[in-house]
Amino acid sequence: MTASKESPWPPARKSFSRICFMGDAFTVGAGDESVLGWVGRVAQYEWGRGHDVTVYNLGIRGDSTRAMRPRWRREAEARLPPTANARLVFAFGGNDAKETVGQGIEVPIEESAENAQAILSEAKAWKPTLWIGLIPMAETKPYPQLLAGPQYRFSNARQAEYNARYAAIAAKIGVPFLDLHSPLLADADWERLSQAGDGSNPTAEGYARIAGMVAAWPAWRRWFDGA
């Protein structure tokens, strides 16, 4: 009997893709002690299913649509050559809707909607694009104040208004939109998960919950499985 030899090469991957994730602290995974966030977890999940995924996490803590609009394209173009199977995922809004105490709302909803439509319309015309809605925050736990920095307040009712406006824009321009705000706000366990973090960003368990919702999203699954 001839002994079989194992191939020195790793198993062939089902697909290869580069994905730029544009967003804010939730995209970065701020507060996650595992340093994976939801972006790292969904990429890890797809690798486990046999997909070769190169992830570029381009989230910036505190970023709003006002800051993202002029930066996203040049940052993505540096990472997504024309020959690549390239994709874009956007997740933002919490910083637009936040209130800086004594100064008002960071980005009023009309300006935020204009920025969002401009960003996503250009993105859709360039690469396959997905859009993820706002993530609710703990209203009963004060947001951590940076040294000598401003104080912020968040309102889930106001976030819901931004989220609904974004969903309407997504439907109008034909970009798949995942509403996380509504189901998480209705989830009795989410308050605990968000309270476990700093009052804005959850810990690892909360990010795992978000990652599961993204990975199961039909629009996301079509990218990898054609489902």
**What is the per-residue DSSP string for 18-54?**
EEEEEESHHHHTTT-TTS-HHHHHHHHHHHHTTEEEE
Predicted pLDDT of residue 149: 73
∠ CA(196), CA(202), CA(151), 5° rounding?
90
Cα-based distances in Å from 7 to 4, 11, 12, 47, 50: 9, 9, 11, 20, 17
Predicted pLDDT of residue 188: 85
Q: Name the 3-class secondary structure at 207.
A: helix
Q: Which parts of the chain sit beneath pLDDT 70? A: 1-14, 141-148, 199, 227
Burial class (CB in 10 A: 0-12, 13-18, 19+), 195: middle
**Residues pairing with 59 in the sheet:** 23
Structure tokens at 107: 């980005």
Q: Are 51 and 42 in contact (CB under 8 A)?
A: no
Predicted pLDDT of residue 106: 96
| Closest listed residue to residue 118, CA positions, set 153, 161, 73, 160 | 73
Query: CA-CA distance, 74 to 129, in Å (whole number)?
Result: 16
∠ CA(84), CA(131), CA(160), 5° rounding?
165
Predicted pLDDT of residue 148: 67
Question: 15-225 falls under which CATH superfamily?
Answer: SGNH hydrolase (3.40.50.1110)
Predicted pLDDT of residue 12: 55
Give the total residue count for the chain: 227
Predicted pLDDT of residue 13: 57
Predicted pLDDT of residue 3: 47
Q: Is the dihedral of CA 84, 171, 131, 189 positive or negative?
A: negative
Q: Where are the domains of the chain?
A: 15-225
pLDDT tens sequence across 18-58: 999 999 999 999 988 999 999 999 999 999 999 999 999 99
Cα-based distances in Å from 79 to 51, 55, 84, 130, 142: 19, 10, 9, 17, 37
